[in-house]
A and B are shown apart, each in its own frame.
Chain A
Amino acid sequence: MIVFSEEQAMLLDTANEFCQNQAPLSAVREVIHNDAAMDPVVWQTMVDLGWLGISIPESFGGLGMNLADAVPIFEAMGRQLMDTPLLASTVAAQVLIKDGSEEQKSTWLQKISSGTIASVAYQETDGNWDLDAIEAVLTPTDAGGLILSGTKTLVPDAEVADLFVVSALHEGRPVWCLVSRESLSASSSIERETVIDETRRSYRVHFSDVLLSPKEVLPGCHFQHFELASMMLIAAEMSGGLAGLLEVVVDYLNTRKQFDKLIGSYQALKHPTVDILLGSEMVRSYLYHAATVWRENESVIAVESAIRMAKCCASEQFSEAGDRGIQFHGGFGFTYDCDAQLFLRRALWSQYQLGDERYQRQKLGALLF
């Protein structure tokens, strides 16, 4: 069952309008070309709209809405292939809300609501999707402090982040710890990484002998909460991206002619394009179902299955649609100029975040039967 909230309806309209104005596809190419770490003007507008604090409780300066209500924003951003630190900051805030102490929350949530950028560093370099398989460690010092060392990869927006939420092993147990930009040691480093989606700002962060107070360790450790929240928002971006791609494909099929006929009249293109349409409708259905289940706070298994289903379906449909989207543009599809490549690259990036469709199906099998 899908229930669409009033908050979602409201945000859907605002978000569509905002993203269409701020980020036409031509702007995406500009973002890729100028290679800046972020666009401060767009960011400030988002902060002013209150989007950074959507799921942050009012007591910490946020709007106190449910994370599920933010889904339409990410869907609208995905449709325009926008990339901003909103995703990174939102899921970092989720970790704090779920697992942080009162002190950690009051220190950071207020700041995040007003635009301080936070990013979760969880991915180890071996590319393992199991969030418990951690190499980074916290080692106690004689003075009662902790030393963090380890390397995290695919850390979004690290260059502009003021806070890192890092997964590490502490006395053999997985924990979250907070690393502010100031506490990074001189030997630590942040290196830009090359990823397939050129709109993304992705980094490898070496935490080298970073000295932390034990107060920086979060009392709770629910990796799955972070994982599911992230997957829901990534699936939202993917749902939007898929709809955007479909539009690009349909436009081309309705304008390009060969053998004196519009190529859209050929069933070899028409029928798979219908498959893309139905895939897109299905992804969106899964997405808003996941949002419903999340908002209604149904059982842990229900939330996990709903979100994995959404991520699974989105990964499969978006990447396949991107693949077909290239083919259907012929020689032009092979060029950098063709917008289809932007969507395919986005699809591939998203597909491999937190588990592709096969990984999700493996997890789902155990949940569903």
Chain B
Amino acid sequence: MNPAEVTEFRAQVSAWLSDNKPADPGFLLPETFMEVGTDQQFEFLRDWQRKVYEAGYLGMSWPEAYGGGGQPQLMQEIVNQEMAAQRVPFVPNTIGLNWAGPLILDMGSEADKNRYIKNILSAEDIWCQGFSEPDHGSDLGNAQVRAVRDGDEYVINGSKIWTSLGSYAKYMILIARTSTEGPNKYAGLSFFLAPMNVPGVNPTPIKKLTGEYGFCQTYFDDARIPADCMLGQEGEGWSVAMKTLMFERGAIGGQAGGLSMMDLNINDIIELARRATRNGQPAIDDPLTRDELTKLVLEAKGNGLMASKAKIPVLNQGYPTAVAMSSKLRGSELKRKMTRFALSLQGANGARYISNQAMDGGKWQRSYLNAFSATIGGGTTQIQKNILGERVLGLPKS
């Protein structure tokens, strides 16, 4: 695309978004797919995703044959930027769009692609992820949910936990143990594109720290799934799971795009600092607050510039993967710090929670509590630091 085409396309997207952006629903929306807690929230967001897809603004760079747009990735990036700029709601099928989808396109069969891709984009089929278990979270390689072959089927038993979108999902990317033998804990794992609507699969909602619902514990009780749901070979589940996590953390590209969370950026915090008062004056006038705010502004700008640097190979010769591999860590930690700081701008009102008396209805308090979803989910900050230390710096394993 030449610069004129880019400008024209951007204008077109921007116009479409302002015409079609949904009106305020009148209830609090979740901030990420991990917090979709009511049917009302879910339906609102699913309808929005469908509309975006039908307008051609989702999966723009995915192959046309499977329902994608067959366009350059740059176009999707422009759409993503405009969506963030216009503060539209996020598209909720995040696991499908950003990790199951690219994974299927990367290593699925022709039949898999025909069957799943289009419905991921249109939000017809919601996807969830069955990785974590009650006793094995960070130590994912130790997953114990069993999958036993029986004829043309696998029989699944055990439970997965923290299943985001579990109650709405039609499919789950599932990692389960097909064997307890093998040289190490990783060897017996296999990866499935598992249907949720079969007897014996029961997602049960769990209440989150915010007081709302958002994820599930998913029980498997002799659930039978077709054997051809397996992705990769039996016993290769660990490497497929690792690839999935690379998509999830944005360390490799190929995602369908669209906003995957409500955009919160540093300008929102600056704006809040002007409105909120601390000890009788706008928080932004307090010198200590200013200093803290400046630190956060710098961290936010720095993160943006790191992404820009990562695109220039000569500037990344030392540790070429450092920026991409740390993007989830940096982004989630910054969001946690920003939302936590937001409370401190409000004086005694920092102690309020979702209610009419709270500033902006308590959105900031809720945001702060919700911010841990990303510092814990998808591999905790501590685990990310292990990975960066070991894979990027070459330090020995802990």
Distance in angstroms between the alpha carbons of A4 and B316 in the assembled complex:
12
B70-78, B106-114, B187-195, B380-388 - the one binding chain A: B380-388
Distance in angstroms between the alpha carbons of A24 and B23 in the assembled complex:
63
- State the main secondary structure of chain B at its contact with A: helix
* Residues A267 and B385 in contact, CB atoms below 8 Å apart: yes
Q: Is A250 part of the binding interface, using a Cβ–Cβ cutoff of 8 Å?
A: yes
Contact with B along A334-369 (1 / 0, CB 8 A): 000000000000000000000000100110110011
Distance in angstroms between the alpha carbons of A145 and B237 in the assembled complex:
85
Q: Tell me whether A364 and B298 are in contact in the complex, defined as CB-CB below 8 angstroms, given that A1-B308, A274-B393 are known contacts.
A: yes
Interface size in chain A (residues, C-beta < 8 A): 38
Contact with A along B357-392 (1 / 0, CB 8 A): 000000000000000000000000010011011101
Distance in angstroms between the alpha carbons of A254 and B389 in the assembled complex:
11
Q: Is B246 part of the binding interface, using a Cβ–Cβ cutoff of 8 Å?
A: no
Distance in angstroms between the alpha carbons of A262 and B398 in the assembled complex:
9
Q: For window 328-383 of chain B, which residues contact chain A by CB distance below 8 Å?
A: 330, 382
Q: B396 to chain A: which residues have CB within 8 Å? A: 254, 261-262, 264-265
Distance in angstroms between the alpha carbons of A369 and B285 in the assembled complex:
11
| Residue from B294, B305, B309, B394 in contact with A361 in the complex, judged by beta carbons closer than 8 Å | B294
Q: Tell me whether A267 and B386 are in contact in the complex, defined as CB-CB below 8 angstroms, given that A250-B394, A273-B395, A278-B330 are known contacts.
A: yes
Distance in angstroms between the alpha carbons of A312 and B296 in the assembled complex:
13
* Residues B323 and A266 in contact, CB atoms below 8 Å apart: no
* Residues A265 and B398 in contact, CB atoms below 8 Å apart: yes
Q: Is A76 part of the binding interface, using a Cβ–Cβ cutoff of 8 Å?
A: no
Q: For window 302-318 of chain A, which residues contact chain B by CB distance below 8 Å?
A: 309, 312-313
Distance in angstroms between the alpha carbons of A365 and B291 in the assembled complex:
7
* Residues B394 and A368 in contact, CB atoms below 8 Å apart: no
* Residues B314 and A4 in contact, CB atoms below 8 Å apart: yes
Q: Tell me whether A284 and B309 are in contact in the complex, defined as CB-CB below 8 angstroms, given that A243-B318, A273-B395, A277-B393 are known contacts.
A: yes
| Residue from B290, B293, B305, B395 in contact with A253 in the complex, judged by beta carbons closer than 8 Å | B395
Determine how close the nearest CB of chain B comes to the CB of A231; give it in whole angstroms.
Answer: 15
Determine how close the nearest CB of chain A comes to the CB of B31; give it in whole angstroms.
Answer: 24
* Residues B394 and A271 in contact, CB atoms below 8 Å apart: no
Residue of A nearest to B284 (CB): A369
Q: For window 86-108 of chain A, which residues contact chain B by CB distance below 8 Å?
A: none
Q: Is A282 part of the binding interface, using a Cβ–Cβ cutoff of 8 Å?
A: yes
Contact with A along B282-298 (1 / 0, CB 8 A): 00100000110111011
* Residues B293 and A250 in contact, CB atoms below 8 Å apart: no
Q: B298 to chain A: which residues have CB within 8 Å? A: 309, 312-313, 361, 364
Distance in angstroms between the alpha carbons of A11 and B392 in the assembled complex:
27
Q: Is B306 part of the binding interface, using a Cβ–Cβ cutoff of 8 Å?
A: yes
| Residue from A262, A267, A289 in contact with B305 in the complex, judged by beta carbons closer than 8 Å | A289
| Residue from B305, B314, B385, B398 in contact with A12 in the complex, judged by beta carbons closer than 8 Å | B314
Q: Is A203 part of the binding interface, using a Cβ–Cβ cutoff of 8 Å?
A: no
Determine how close the nearest CB of chain A comes to the CB of B355; give it in whole angstroms.
Answer: 29
Residue of A nearest to B397 (CB): A265
Distance in angstroms between the alpha carbons of A193 and B377 in the assembled complex:
54
Q: Is A288 part of the binding interface, using a Cβ–Cβ cutoff of 8 Å?
A: yes
Determine how close the nearest CB of chain A comes to the CB of B280; give it in whole angstroms.
Answer: 20
* Residues B308 and A277 in contact, CB atoms below 8 Å apart: no
* Residues B315 and A270 in contact, CB atoms below 8 Å apart: no
Q: Is A281 part of the binding interface, using a Cβ–Cβ cutoff of 8 Å?
A: yes
Q: Is A300 part of the binding interface, using a Cβ–Cβ cutoff of 8 Å?
A: no
Q: B318 to chain A: which residues have CB within 8 Å? A: 243
Q: Is B302 part of the binding interface, using a Cβ–Cβ cutoff of 8 Å?
A: yes
Q: Tell me whether A285 and B309 are in contact in the complex, defined as CB-CB below 8 angstroms, given that A274-B388, A361-B291 are known contacts.
A: yes
Determine how close the nearest CB of chain A comes to the CB of B361; give it in whole angstroms.
Answer: 24
Q: Is A286 part of the binding interface, using a Cβ–Cβ cutoff of 8 Å?
A: yes
Q: Is A32 part of the binding interface, using a Cβ–Cβ cutoff of 8 Å?
A: no
Q: B398 to chain A: which residues have CB within 8 Å? A: 265-267, 270
- State the main secondary structure of chain A at its contact with B: helix
Q: For window 242-265 of chain A, which residues contact chain B by CB distance below 8 Å?
A: 243, 250, 253-254, 261-262, 264-265
* Residues B389 and A2 in contact, CB atoms below 8 Å apart: no
Q: Is A27 part of the binding interface, using a Cβ–Cβ cutoff of 8 Å?
A: no
Distance in angstroms between the alpha carbons of A278 and B302 in the assembled complex:
10
Q: Is B312 part of the binding interface, using a Cβ–Cβ cutoff of 8 Å?
A: yes
Q: Is A301 part of the binding interface, using a Cβ–Cβ cutoff of 8 Å?
A: no
Determine how close the nearest CB of chain A comes to the CB of B85; give it in whole angstroms.
Answer: 16
* Residues A361 and B295 in contact, CB atoms below 8 Å apart: yes
* Residues B312 and A270 in contact, CB atoms below 8 Å apart: no
Determine how close the nearest CB of chain A comes to the CB of B342; give it in whole angstroms.
Answer: 15
* Residues A250 and B302 in contact, CB atoms below 8 Å apart: no
Q: Is B87 part of the binding interface, using a Cβ–Cβ cutoff of 8 Å?
A: no
Residue of A nearest to B299 (CB): A282
Q: B303 to chain A: which residues have CB within 8 Å? A: 282
Q: Is B326 part of the binding interface, using a Cβ–Cβ cutoff of 8 Å?
A: yes
Determine how close the nearest CB of chain A comes to the CB of B338; give it in whole angstroms.
Answer: 14
Distance in angstroms between the alpha carbons of A264 and B390 in the assembled complex:
9
* Residues A265 and B291 in contact, CB atoms below 8 Å apart: no
* Residues A267 and B308 in contact, CB atoms below 8 Å apart: no
* Residues A281 and B294 in contact, CB atoms below 8 Å apart: no
Q: Tell me whether A4 and B312 are in contact in the complex, defined as CB-CB below 8 angstroms, given that A250-B393, A277-B319, A278-B330 are known contacts.
A: yes
* Residues B323 and A281 in contact, CB atoms below 8 Å apart: yes
Q: For window 148-187 of chain B, which residues contact chain A by CB distance below 8 Å?
A: none
Q: Is B270 part of the binding interface, using a Cβ–Cβ cutoff of 8 Å?
A: yes
Q: Is B301 part of the binding interface, using a Cβ–Cβ cutoff of 8 Å?
A: yes
Question: What are some 19 contacts across the A-B interface (CB < 8 A)?
Answer: A2-B312, A4-B315, A254-B395, A265-B398, A270-B386, A273-B389, A273-B395, A278-B388, A282-B303, A282-B306, A285-B302, A288-B312, A289-B308, A309-B298, A313-B298, A313-B302, A358-B291, A364-B298, A368-B297
Partner-A contacts on B (CB < 8 A): 270, 273, 284, 290-291, 293-295, 297-298, 301-303, 305-306, 308-309, 312, 314-315, 318-319, 322-323, 326, 330, 382, 385-386, 388-390, 392-398
